[in-house]
Each structure stands twice: as C-alpha cells, then as structure tokens.
Structure 1
Amino acid sequence: MGLLNWKHSSTYPTTPHRHRVAILDNSGSDVSKEKGTLIFKGQLYGTLGTGDIVAVNIPLSKTCPHKNAWHSNLKRYKQLHRVIESMCAEYKNEIFPISTCSSMVAPMKRATTWLMKTLGRDVREGEMVFIEEVFGKESVFVDSVGRSRKDCRALDELIHFSFHESRGERVLCGLRGAVGANGVFHLTEPTVHSVSRTYGDTDRGVDGINRVLKEHKCTDKCRNWRALPVDDVLERCVPTAPPLHESFPNPESSSPSHIFPPQSLSSTHSHPPPYDAVNDVIADLPPSYSELFPCGRQ
C-alpha cells in the first residue's frame, strides 16, 4: 500500500516544487519551546524526494491561517543560507563544512484524530505548517547566547563572519542540526540577533549581539574581519598583539631603551630623528660619545 492510500495527516502540494507531506501518525513528537510548536515526523511523497523524512512544526496553542505566520522562521533560514554562501567564497579552495537544510510552508489537507489529540486542539483544513529537511538526529552545537557545545572552528568562524558580513548589524547563533557521514554540519533554523530586532521573538537585539560576542572565541581567519566591539573579546581577536602593558616602557627599568625620561614622550617640543621610509632606518645616527664630549672623560 503506497503513501497515497494511507489514512494519515497530510498537506496539500506546495509551489513551486509540488511537495506533499504525510505526517506519520503514532510516530511520536517533540516540543520546541523556542517556536512554541510540536514537531512531528513527516515523509515527502509525490515528488522527486518521495520517501525523504522531514520535520513538521505545528503550533501548540494557535492556528496559522496565513503563510505570514511563519515569516520570521523563513527569514532566519534565508539569512543563514546567505551567510553560508558568502562564507564559502571566503574559504576559496578549501571546503567549508557547513550547509543549511531546506524549509517550506505548506497548508494542511487533513488531520487525524491522533494528531489533534496529541496537539490538544482542532487542526483545520488549510492551516499552515512549517516543514524542515532532516539529516539525522538533531543536536545543539551553539546555544542562543553563543555558548559552544561543539568544538568546531568553522562554527566559530560562521558566527564572527555573520557579524562582519552584516557590518555589525546581525549575528547568528542557536546553531543546531546534524552532522553528516562526511563530517559536514547540516544546520536547521538558527537564532538571529539584530540591531533592528526583526527576526522574531528570539531576536534579543543589541543585548543579544553583545552576549554572543562575549562568548565568541576567534580563530586565525577572524583577524581578517570586522573587530568585535567588546574589549575583552577584541584582545582574543588579535592573538598576536602583545598585551597593552607590554607595549610601553617601564620607567623603573634600567634597560638602555629607557634612557629618555617618560615626560619626553608627551613633550610638544621634542622631535624624533628623521625617518627614512624607503630604507626603514634612522637616517641621521645619534652623535658618538667623543662628539658629545670632545675633551674626554673628566
């Protein structure tokens, strides 16, 4: 018996790909607190992807009669996809080990008694549900405040690059999904914090951005991108720079490099020796001892 003859909850075809989804009743469900949904196991049919497993998100407490109800979810996916595409260009000849799952919105065609009992409410025909591609058991790699649960340089770089690419306007976090057999991270819907706070209820604005950046640990690639605005993070973004206190001489040191008194550094009347930018040397060498004291030692 094929999928088309099952008595299952299902969706109408979606455009342009004409996907249809059968929600596999009695297969269990998971709660997504961030989305306020129950997530059911579904299966594609009637398309080239027939048989592929997907996750079907249905709201717990309200109906979604319009596609706009899932606008923020689709917008977060779109932002993730765009940043990953730009990141691949940054890697050039290297393989960037991160991809994004596909997502779509589809209207419900029918719902079984089991589905409505599990949700605790009626599900009407035409109600919009949110469908995500599945690559395996989902894990959280980076939480919504930037704390990493998976040691992966590429994920750290993706977070910093999202801040750089948006000119400091947005940052990705809440990275979760599955790791494929080839070691590639397949990411599902992320959390996006933005200055404009236009990425849904999980968008914490500037406070969210700052919290994520405080948790971020830069790699060598991060030094090529926009510096982070938090002082303690900024030091980690330039690991080769010496600490600030080591960049200035110690007045109490007896080293020959500290012959000049500290006040001469701020004097408006002192002039350093002329600098030859071509040869990178001091053009006029300082006078010798005999030139300074022609009569010799006293």
Structure 2
Amino acid sequence: MELNKLENQTLPSITSSADGRKWWANFEFYPDVVTNRKSIFRGLMYSGENYYSQTECAVKFGEPDVNEEELIKYVEGIREIHRLAGLFNATQKGVKITVLLPCVAVMDKVAPFYNRVFRMMQKNYTRIIADDDCILLEEWVQGHYVPFVDPEGNPNSVCPDVVHQFAHFCHHETKGQLVVTNLQGIEKDNGIILSSPVVHSVERKYGQRDKGMTGMATFFERFNNACSEGCKQYLSNKDIAYPSYPPSVHSTEKEAQLIANNTIKISEPPSYSASEAQNVQNSPPPPYDETPASSISPPNQTYFHPFNTRTNKEIQII
C-alpha cells in the first residue's frame, strides 16, 4: 500500500491487540472512507519502537462525543467476540471466522491545516480532529466489505450460513448473556473476516451501542427468520441463564389462550401511595440471577424463549 502525507500521529494505544502488544500509528491526510458515523484513514502502525513491526492499518474516528471510557467498553465487547470466534472455529471443519480486534488510542499530532483545508474541499465533511481525540487502530484488510448483519440484527440475503451459526453460537456459549450484531466483513482465503461488531448484553456493559435486553430482543425478532440447519444445535434454551422473569410471561400457548378467553385472570398490579411509589421508583433494579431457564419450565420440560411466548417442544426455530 502506497501512502503519502503521513502527518497525523497517535500515542501508543491504551488497549492491547490480540497478541498483547500496544501500537501507535501514522496515517494519511485524507480519509479513505467517510460515513455518517465514522471516518476511516489508511496508515501504518508500529509496536513500540520496533519499526520492523510495521503493519498497514485502518484508523477509525467515530462520533466526537464518544469518550475514551466508552470506546474501551466497546472494544472489550469485540474482545469477547474475538474469544468466542476461537471457540467456534474449533467446532468447524470448513470456513473459519476471524474477528478483527482494534486498539483504543489517543491522537498525538494532527496534520497542519487539516481541519480547515479538508473541510473546505469536502463540504459535507464536518468532523473536526483534535489532538486528544480517541480513535481505533485496526489491521487493514483489503477487500469489499459486505454488511452480512446490520446493527439491528437484520441479515443480508447473502449472509453465509456460517455467520448465522456464529451469531447463535455466541449467544449459546455465553449462556444467553449477549448477542452480536453488525457483522460486516469479507470472504477471503476460505474464511470470513469480520470488523466492527456490536454487542448487546444482559448487563449492558459494552458501551453506548450496547442496547442491553432491548437490543437482544430486537436481534431475536429480526435475525432468526433465515436460520440454516447448522443453527439448530445452538437454539436450545436448556442451559441458558436469563434475568428473573416477571410472572406475566407465559410458557405455553395453552396458558396464553386461557388468558385470552379470560379463563385465567391476570392479577392487577399493586397500588401505591405517593410515598410508596417514590420509594419504588428510587429502588435499584433487581439483580440478575443465574437460574437456568430449565429450572422454571413446566413439568413437561417445554422450554420457552424470553422474547416470545411460543412453545419449544424440541428446538424452537426463532
């Protein structure tokens, strides 16, 4: 890759790459990709003072209000998906999944006149780069990136079966604690390389893009309409541990029908005085427990998924 005008520079990264090293980068004057959410520059990154470690990289600038702490949380989510990819690949005989793990770094130097000159040339580009901006450094992989799964969990019509399986594997392997979306990447050398995944978790601990249980519910609603045969092994909820369920969640269609016919009455929520209501409002949320779904299933061992009320008699295709 031929690079010119490497006048922008970062400090050594705050987080480490998959092999434990920290990196700093020089990168070009002009961005290679500009979207509503981010700008991507091409550059070269180095580990410490070892110039033989020179590696082509992508330098990613996100929204200006995303701070260092939020970026670190986001990268920790990707680190978990990177770990899960290794476990998933151990079960595969064919196509392997590679998840690129970025490093969080802070800008050190900005090219002179960059903000003024480039913004004058590109009228739609409003991103100002500051000396203390937080960015992501990621290995540059040449190729055409395809959005296999969008951030909401909608799969592309060309989404490979192995990506479907991997997404379900992540949820199953973590016992229901997270789902992964925004699976975009390239197919290369009998493998799929994924970049910039978004993680939604029960504890909502992976940054601003982690939408918690709401994001997980949206994923299941939209993602599971085109599952392959290979997904079935990861769709059982037998060993999944979720937060405690409210009593109004019904595990069988029969119960739902009885309620619809007013055969079973749903108890009305309790009424509170003004002072009691204030206490309830100020109380912390209930803790998440580790109770597996199997322990609260009806006697016939019919498992249910927390995001729908359909019966799971064998393996629920959701």
Size of the aligned set, in residue pairs, is: 227
Helix, strand or coil: the match of 1:21?
Answer: strand
- Rounded to whole Å, the distance in 2 between the matches of 1:122 and 1:238 is 49
1:185: which partner in 2? 192
Give 1 or 2 for the bigger CA radius of gyration.
1
Matches within 5 A, 1:102-181: 102-117=101-116, 118=119, 120-121=127-128, 123-124=130-131, 126-136=132-142, 137-149=144-156, 150-180=158-188
1:13-92 to 2 correspondence within 5 Å? 13-14=12-13, 17=21, 19-31=23-35, 33=37, 37-45=38-46, 47-50=51-54, 52=56, 54-62=57-65, 64=67, 67-91=68-92
CA apart distance, 1:7: 5.8
- Letter aligned with residue 148 of structure 1: P
CA positional deviation for 1:77: 1.2
Q: Compute the TM-score of the two structures, normalised by the length of structure 1.
A: 0.65
Please point out which of 230, 248, 261 is paired with 1:221: 230
Q: Cα distance 1:48–1:236, how it changes in 2: closer, same or farther (>3 A)?
A: farther
For the 8 Å contact 2:200–2:212, the answer to whether it is kept is yes
1:122 shift after superposition: 5.4
Query: Measured at CA, do residues 40 and 210 of structure 1 come closer, stay the same or move farther in structure 2, by a change above 3 Å?
Result: same
Q: Is the 8 A contact 2:70 2:207 kept in 1?
A: no
**Percent identical across equivalent pairs?**
20
Q: CA RMSD, aligned part only?
A: 3.1
In structure 1, stretches of 5+ residues that fail to align are: 240-298
Shift of 1:61: 3.1
Contact 1:18 1:47 in 2 (8 A): no
Secondary structure at 1:112 match in 2: coil
The whole-number CA distance in structure 2 between the counterparts of 1:134 and 1:27 is 14
> Helix, strand or coil: the match of 1:50?
strand
Letter in 1 for 2:202: V
CA distance in structure 2 between the partners assigned to 1:222 and 1:233 by the alignment? 18
Distance in 2 between the 1:133 and 1:183 partners? 19
Cα drift, residue 154 of structure 1: 0.5
Aligned residues of 1:77 and 1:188 also touching (Cα < 8 A): no
For the residue of structure 1 that corresponds to 2:215, the secondary structure is helix
Question: For 1:6 and 1:28, how far apart are their aligned partners in 2?
Answer: 13
C-alpha spacing 1:86/1:7, structure 2 compared with 1 (3 Å):
closer
Query: In the alignment, what sits opposite 1:294?
Result: none
Give the alignment's TM-score, normalised by structure 2.
0.61
Show CA shifts across 1:53-89 (max 9, x none). x22123443485xx43411221121121021112122
Distance 1:112 1:98, change over 3 A: same
Structure 1 residues 148 and 63, CA, compared in 2 at 3 Å: closer, same or farther? closer
Structure 2: distance between partners of 1:196 and 1:156 = 23
Separation in structure 2 between the aligned mates of residue 122 and residue 75 of structure 1, nearest angstrom: 24
Task: Give the direction of change, closer, same or farther, for the CA distance of 1:212–1:112 in structure 2 (3 Å limit).
Answer: same
Q: Tell me the SS of whatever aligns to 1:90.
A: coil
Go from structure 1 to structure 2 and tell me whether the alpha carbon gap of 1:169 and 1:123 turns closer, same or farther (over 3 Å shift): same
